[in-house]
Amino acid sequence: MNKSKILFAWRSFSKQIDFFTFVAGLDTKTNAAIKNLLETNASVEIVPAAKADLQLIISLNEIRSKTSGLDSLQSAGGVVFYLSGSVELNQRVDGEMIWREKNLSVEVAEGNSNGLATHSLELSQEHLDELSQLFAEKIYHRLFLEF
Q: Per-residue confidence of the chain (147 residues) as pLDDT tens digits?
A: 333 445 555 444 333 333 334 677 888 888 889 889 988 888 888 887 777 888 888 888 888 888 766 555 555 567 888 999 888 888 888 889 999 999 999 999 876 544 344 445 567 888 889 999 999 999 999 988 876
Decide if domain 6-146 falls under CATH 3.30.160.150.
yes
The pLDDT assigned to 134 comes to: 96
Q: Where are the domains of the chain?
A: 6-146
The pTM of this model reads 0.77
Residue 100: exposure state from Cβ atoms within 10 A (0-12, 13-18, ≥19): exposed
Q: What is the pLDDT of residue 60?
A: 85
pLDDT of residue 63: 86
Q: What is the pLDDT of residue 139?
A: 93
Between the CA of residue 128 and those of 46, 56, 67, what are the distances in Å?
A: 25, 22, 17
